Amino acid sequence: MGRGRLRIYLGAAPGVGKTYAMLAEAHRRQERGTDVVVAFVEDHGRRRTSDMVAGLEVVLRQQVVHRGARFSEMDLDAVLARRPQVALVDELAHTNVPGCRNDKRWQDVEELLAAGIDVISSVNVQHLESLGDAVEGITGVRQRETVPDEVVRRADQIELVDMSPQALRRRLAHGNVYAPEKIDAALANYFRPGNLTALRELALLWTADRVDEYLQKYRAEQGIEGTWQARERIVVGLTGGPEGATLIRRAARIAARVSGGELLAVHISRSDGLVGSGSPQALIEQRALVESLGGSFHAVLGDDPAAGLLDFARGVNATQIVLGTSRRPAWQYLYGPGVGTTVTREAGDIDVHMVTHEHAGHGRHGKIPVRRITDLGRTRTVAGWLIGLVGPPLMAIVLTAIGGLGLSTDMLLFLSLTVCAALVGGLLPAIGSALVGSSVLNYYFTPPLHTFTINEPQNIMAVAIFTIVGISVASVVDLAARRTQQAARSQTEAQTLSALAGTVLRGAPNGDGVLTALMEQVRETFGQESAALLERPGPLAAWVPVAAAGPRPPERPEEADVDVPVGDSLALVLRGR
């Protein structure tokens, strides 16, 4: 038996007709042969709503006595025993009378869904838990009955029931919402045009976010990488340099020009921790600025800043990218075109804004990470190859001109070139130097001269030892370079852990959503499609998702590409490359 499907009619304000729309949908399904029952519908004395109940099977309510008063509530057991295909449950945020099995009606709905019964329900936007403070600030009324946003977000379908403030006020004045004695007070207080307009905007924005989640999920499932310009998303690339604040403010102005524009700041940290990761203090300040402007800050690991930025932008379906003009001196463009040029060339249908600033062309405290031939850098690598390949022939010319200094001395001189090549260029240039040097020694200084034949066994041993020592020294230098890289990577990992810890500390004041935010940070940091934290109450129990982020999060460790055990009963699972 599968889980039931939940459809919710979200009302922008009381009286817009969400219950009427729910009943109309019930009649349509019943006409198609679906087994539909009314588990609980509140008509609030509205004749048209009560007329819509006619023709539908109604499950009798249970009577609950509390403090000497009798209340009628949905009879959950009766609905479960009836087992219809579809049950109508009005007012999802309702608080049940003490004595019922569950405290909240949305918990009753969860039981119906778990039993495989489809549910059609309704709720007004002012009852969403996350909007409580906003609604109170608009209307001056604190909503005591709320439903967690996640309950509504998990719905398979959400339909917004909307109406212009003027039309709703006319409906109210005609007596279609409240009794006549309540109309004047309602029009003068809660149902003022400004209140209704603000509530309508809240409903539209909240629903737009939900629609965007559906869109992102669909794009991920279909493998769509191109940008769909359904909503303006401005991504600003930050290096941790002093120009960051200028870029953030410019991007925020661009986002503010369109309704619903979204600002996202991203910093690409090199996974090897080498220079170019920016100033940590500057990034902290820029993160605070982004969040104060209503945007979000994201840190992503990547060895290629341009590719990492474009991957992030395409992943969030960005429409525009804001970058600062490079702080590199002109001569550094010999290393490559730079991040801005590369992003502009490969952005495709994403618009790129290059913003000038006072630091352009003045250099940077940390150089831009250019592509490196080896871990030691391009300049040292080229110098190492020059020493290793050109040095031995030049040394041979000099020694030949002075008549040589003896085989042992000549060998030490050639060995010094190999050691120098190893210190400057690393493993490969040193190996080349050892091979070229041994060949030159053999040809010019080991009897018989000007041939590659060696007559004396001790000379064979000397040349062999020379080659082995040269390669050994090169290996030691290469190992030192890799150890340095590992130390730098550890520093980067420490910064990543600091960012993850900051996500927890900046979580919701009441603790809700902290784990979800942490999963989203993990997913973005490591470039994963989705991330989830799973819990297993017992060795034989099924895994239960505790928090998740991204489309299609794994529900079992076996479904994940990466499975990291966290203690005995928890597992962090990741899906992606």
pLDDT at 498 over 50: yes
Cα distance between residue 212 and residue 193, in whole Å: 28
pLDDT at 463: 66
Q: What is the 3-state secondary structure (H, E, C) of 129-180?
A: HHHHHHHHHHHCCCCCCCECHHHHHCCCEEEEECCCHHHHHHHHHCCCCCCH
Q: What is the 3-state secondary structure (H, E, C) of 78-97?
A: HHHHHCCCEEEECCCCCECC
Q: How many CA atoms lie within 13 A of 437 on its CB side?
A: 36
Q: How many CA atoms lie within 13 A of 495 on its CB side?
A: 25
Cα distance between residue 328 and residue 367, in whole Å: 8
Q: If pLDDT is split at 50, 70 and 90, which confidence band does 509 have?
A: very low
Peptide bond into 448 cis (omega under 30): yes
- Class of CATH domain 6-221: alpha beta
Helix (H) or strand (E) holding 551: none
467-485 per-position pLDDT tens digit: 777 677 767 766 776 677 6
CA 572 to chain centre: 16
Angstrom distances, CA of residue 432 to CA of 52, 438, 439: 88, 10, 11
Q: Is the pTM of this model over 0.85?
A: no
Every domain of the chain with CATH number 3.40.50.620 lies at: 233-355
- Cβ contact 516:549 at 8 Å: yes
pLDDT at 275 over 50: no
Cα distance between residue 427 and residue 402, in whole Å: 31
Burial class (CB in 10 A: 0-12, 13-18, 19+), 443: middle
- Cβ contact 222:324 at 8 Å: no
Cα distance between residue 106 and residue 116, in whole Å: 15
- Class of CATH domain 233-355: alpha beta
pLDDT at 400 over 60: yes
For the chain, give me the number of helices (H) and strands (E)?
A: 19, 17
- Cβ contact 5:118 at 8 Å: yes
pLDDT at 367: 40
- Cβ contact 574:549 at 8 Å: no
Q: Among 434, 330, 423, 351, which residue's Cα sits nearest to residue 391? A: 434
pLDDT at 204: 80
Q: What average pLDDT does this structure show over 251-261?
A: 78
pLDDT at 375: 53
pLDDT at 4: 93
- Cβ contact 29:86 at 8 Å: yes
Can you read off the two tokens belonging to residue 178?
């409240």
146-200 per-position pLDDT tens digit: 898 889 888 888 898 888 888 888 888 877 787 777 777 778 777 888 888 888 8
- CA trace torsion 166, 153, 59, 172 (10° rounding): -10
Q: What average pLDDT does this structure show over 309-325?
A: 86
- Cβ contact 272:303 at 8 Å: yes
Q: What is the 3-state secondary structure (H, E, C) of 180-191?
A: HHHHHHHHHCCC
pLDDT at 368 over 50: no
> Which residue did the predictor score with more confidence, 212 or 559?
559
- Given its phi and psi angles, is residue 113 left (phi above 0), alpha (psi -120 to 50 degrees) or beta? alpha
Helix (H) or strand (E) holding 108: helix 105-114
pLDDT at 116: 94
Q: What is the 3-state secondary structure (H, E, C) of 327-383?
A: CCCHHHHHHCCCHHHHHHHHCCCCEEEEECCCCCCCCCCCCCCCCCCCCCCHHHHHH
pLDDT at 371: 38
Q: What average pLDDT does this structure show over 346-353?
A: 85
Q: Among 574, 477, 484, 487, which residue's Cα sits nearest to residue 525? A: 574
Q: Among 82, 62, 58, which residue's Cα sits nearest to residue 72? A: 62
What percent of the chain lies above the pLDDT cut of 90? 16
Cα distance between residue 85 and residue 544, in whole Å: 26
Every domain of the chain with CATH number 3.40.50.300 lies at: 6-221
Which of 29-38, 171-180, 254-263, 521-530 has maximum average pLDDT? 29-38
Q: What average pLDDT does this structure show over 475-502?
A: 69
pLDDT at 557 over 50: yes
Helix (H, G, I), strand (E, B), or coil: what is residue 265? strand
pLDDT at 499 over 80: no
Place of tokens 């020379």: 466
79-107 per-position pLDDT tens digit: 999 999 999 999 999 999 988 889 999 99
pLDDT at 273: 46
User: How many residues can be counted in the chain?
Assistant: 577
CA 51 to chain centre: 48
- Cβ contact 122:92 at 8 Å: yes
- CA trace torsion 138, 294, 301, 377 (10° rounding): -170
Which of 92-106, 271-285, 331-345, 478-492 has maximum average pLDDT? 92-106
pLDDT at 397 over 90: no
pLDDT at 353 over 60: yes
- Given its phi and psi angles, is residue 68 left (phi above 0), alpha (psi -120 to 50 degrees) or beta? left
Q: If pLDDT is split at 50, 70 and 90, which confidence band does 111 have?
A: very high
